[in-house]
Amino acid sequence: MINTEPAWERRVAELWATFDDHDPEDFLSKVQELTDELPAGDAVAHYELASAHDSIGNEAEAAFTGRLSTPGSPAHAAVRRRSSSRAPYATSGEPKRASIY
């Protein structure tokens, strides 16, 4: 079962809210730092990294990283619930989150 801490979720949300304030590699580095705090193989970490790669134009890396969360697993289901609960960015001028599933 995925159980990220609310404080971690808040920091991730704050980073995404400031996406335009970062150059692509800086943003990716900050996402990597946050995901490194989660256990190895964590589906949420893979999802966040895939989303970051997709948002900065690294589609191939996004697809590879996204596949690390295996469809049909409990982790995959939790990531899908998380991603569907977020408001789409496309209408607000912010980058759209990765659609890897």
pLDDT digits (tens, 9 = 90+) for 46-78: 889 988 998 999 887 787 777 665 555 444 555
Average pLDDT across the chain, whole number: 75
**What residues does each domain of the chain span?**
6-92
Q: At what angle do helices 24-35 and 6-17 cross, to 10 degrees?
A: 180
Please report, rounded to a whole number, the percentage of residues in the chain having pLDDT higher than 70: 62
How far apart, in whole angstroms, are the C-alpha atoms of residue 21 and residue 83? 22
| pTM as predicted | 0.65
